[in-house]
Chains A and B, each alone.
Chain A
Amino acid sequence: MSAKNGHRGKHKVLNGTRPRLAVWKFSSCDGCQLSLLDCEDELLAVAGAVEIAYFLEASSATAKGPYDLTLVEGSITTPHDAERIHEIRRASKFLVSIGACATSGGIQALRNFGNVPDFISAVYAQPQYITTLRTSTAIADHVKVDFELQGCPINKAQLLEVVGAFLAGRRPNIPAHSVCVECKRAGVPCVMVSKGVPCLGPVTHAGCGALCPLYARGCFGCFGPMEQANTEALAAHWAELGADRQKLLHAFRGITGNAPEFRRQATFHE
């Protein structure tokens, strides 16, 4: 399809009745929002199928809610943001949190395990100017979330699936198995078995396409835990491969360290 013709045609026909999309940012690196702009082949078609009512990174034109579909990037780290997310929830029919920050608190949730006043004074000379919460938390810890799309960053094809599914009124088709399954399907030799490289693939949510094993390294869990991940068994196996307590602690307390399954496992290695 020519994006140009598709976009213009749809825009004309559906103008005024298109579903309204909003994209919001909380504490984050912008990478997941960028993933939407990185859908170069589909962007104009998406922009034709929906009304982009609020997407500050892409457009200075903003419209008030209600919104049919809201995408939320980032975690809650300030008192103001803890209020703002409730306003957004009230204005949104469906709310989807996207990325490791929005679904687990993100890498900045490493503060949850440290001393925040010490952190502030480590970075800022005038700590009194900084307003922040002691924790970085997922969107679902604050409001009802209709779907969580994991990943640091999210997989853009999965993002398109999620947007398409909500616009069509169905559940998104996002596989819930582990990276391990993706790896087997891709026919990649297991890095743990063949090279003894510690890998979080068996407990990590699919979505990346087993990227790290494809590049001869172990998974470091950037898509976060899969449901009912057997982190005990994996930790024991890592120990057999020679991983010490600190390595285990840092493996589970990484980019998605505040996700419950990883958070719990990390405490055994403190």
Chain B
Amino acid sequence: MSDTATKTKTIRTDYLARVEGEGGMRVRMRGGKVLDVQLKIYEPPRFFEAFLRGRQFSEAPDITARICGICPVAYQMSSCLAMESLAGAEVSGQLRALRRLLYCGEWIESHTLHIFMLHAPDFLGVASAVELAKINPELVETALRLKKIGNEVMRVVGGREVHPINVKVGGWYKTPSRAQLEALVPDLEWAKAASLEAVRVVAGLEFPVLEQDYEFVALDADGEYPIDRGARLVSTRGLDIPIAEFFDHVVEEHVEHSNALHARLLERGAYLVGPLARFALHRGLLSPDALAAADEAGLEPVVRNPFKSIVVRAVELVHACDEALRLIAAYEEPPEPAVEIVPQPGWGHGASEAPRGVLYHRYRLGTGGEILDAKIVPPTSQNQRSIEEDLFAFVTAHAALPEEELRLRCEQAIRNYDPCISCATHFLTLEVERE
């Protein structure tokens, strides 16, 4: 070890696996001290905000869905909400209930994908869910069925699972019948039971030790666990603002190693969005069974070990199933599929809770309903700084680990965030250099 006291060492992963999109990491160390950490995002930029300019407000849901194949519903919802806020219209009642249901489908699909297919392999020492299936076929088969049920909800409500076609500003092109939704109930009841079991399974995993003092940020949805909308942005350190004031408190910075912009709170710096934040701020609003499952899993009211995000995600899976079942039970076919939207010139703001965290959209419309300016802040760009801070803290605390083990743990630490790099690029390679 004495040789390494003066040399720079680099731990790097050029192409991170089991994340959505292209990124890597680099950690540079000297003598067991971390010099710097970079979450590298080389997913090529796609310039959505630029080519949204000049398009009609009504095109935003179909265009912005294409930012992310994993969470298209999040993009559709945030863009619709922004346009509707500008038109002074509110999509309420059953039209809104269907939006929340569609979003529950996306949470079930996306959380299942991440828990079992992307993240669990890290904890179990395998390369993929396919390898996991050789050791524990029942677990993978359960995961695939759960995922399929989430997709089925999206298909029935949205038309298809990737880039749904049924979402429009103002509501829907066509609303489903009661019978179509009721047909989902037996599967969702199975999914609920499987999700409860998933909480038990992931709670039994071994968690690397790391406690971080995060500022958690999530939407506030007026007495509901935030999913499809939220009028205010709140934090565990007293942030409480209407979403229209997002950019009064959040700044985005462009750093050289990332094609995603880094967001930070103007007053305090790094913050964290996603399951851990929603749980820390709104745990009491979870369904009774989801809350009981969290307690049984031994989760503290505020979880500061990012490796335990997998447990919180499973708890949210229970909640999403409960919500979906509740919404279907209360469903009545609405008389009209949409409310009329008369676009108004000015600035519109919309935010929803993508599976990975707050997704904020801001648009400026012209007099003819055309988009003059668009700004989209995805969850992963908000989390980039926290990811880097986690890597810094983790490598500092575990510098003595063998290099390969350290590299694998760093990758796992990044996957704690379920980073969506396709989204953030407008966003990942880990290199660790040891001097």
Contacts and interface: CB of A to CB of B under 8 A. Distances in A.
Query: Are A and B a genuine interacting pair, yes or no?
Result: yes
Interface of A: 3-4, 7-8, 11, 25-35, 37-38, 40-41, 43-44, 47, 52, 55-62, 77-78, 81, 106-108, 110-111, 114, 116, 118-120, 122-126, 129-130, 132, 136, 152-153, 208, 211-212, 214-217, 220, 222, 250, 255
B17 A60 contact: yes
Contacts of B69: 28-34, 153
Contacts of B134: 8, 11
B173 interface: yes
Contacts of A28: 69, 422
Contact of B45 (A120, A153, A250, A255): A120
21 contacts: A25-B22, A27-B44, A28-B69, A29-B66, A29-B422, A30-B20, A34-B70, A41-B148, A52-B130, A56-B18, A77-B45, A78-B44, A110-B47, A123-B48, A125-B252, A132-B45, A153-B162, A211-B159, A211-B160, A216-B337, A255-B62
Interface string B45-73: 11111110101100100110011111010
A255 to B, nearest CB: 7
8 interchain residue pairs of minimum CB distance: A31-B69, A59-B128, A61-B127, A60-B17, A119-B50, A110-B51, A40-B148, A153-B162
Contacts of B151: 38, 40
B14 to A, nearest CB: 11
Contact of A81 (B44, B128, B131, B145): B44
Contact of A111 (B47, B70, B128, B252): B47
Nearest to A113: B51
Nearest to A44: B133
A42 to B, nearest CB: 10
Interface of B: 15-22, 43-51, 53, 55-56, 59, 62-63, 66-70, 72, 113, 117, 121, 127-131, 133-134, 137, 140-141, 144-145, 147-148, 151, 159-163, 165-166, 168, 173-174, 252-256, 259, 261, 337, 411, 422, 426
A217 B47 contact: no
A40 B165 contact: no
Contacts of A120: 45, 47
Contacts of B137: 4, 7-8, 44
A125 to B, nearest CB: 4
B45 A130 contact: yes
A136 B48 CA distance: 13
B425 to A, nearest CB: 9
A107 B128 contact: no
Most buried by B among A8, A11, A78, A110: A110
B23 to A, nearest CB: 11
A27 B131 contact: no
A78 to B, nearest CB: 5
B162 A250 contact: no
Given A114-B51, A123-B426, A59 B17 contact: yes
Contacts of B51: 107-108, 110-111, 114, 119
Contacts of A153: 69, 160, 162-163
Contacts of A211: 159-160, 165
B139 to A, nearest CB: 11
A215 B173 contact: yes
A170 to B, nearest CB: 26
Contacts of B337: 216
Contacts of B252: 125
A88 to B, nearest CB: 13
Given A119-B50, A125-B254, A220-B62, 13 more contacts: A29-B67, A30-B422, A34-B162, A35-B162, A37-B147, A59-B127, A77-B45, A107-B48, A108-B48, A129-B259, A211-B159, A215-B173, A217-B165
Contacts of B67: 29
Contacts of A132: 44-45
B161 A107 contact: no
B428 to A, nearest CB: 11
A125 B68 CA distance: 23
Nearest to A48: B130
A120 B16 CA distance: 25
B254 A126 contact: yes
B56 A58 contact: no
Contacts of B15: 56
Contacts of B255: 126, 129
B31 to A, nearest CB: 29
B173 A119 contact: no
Contacts of B19: 57
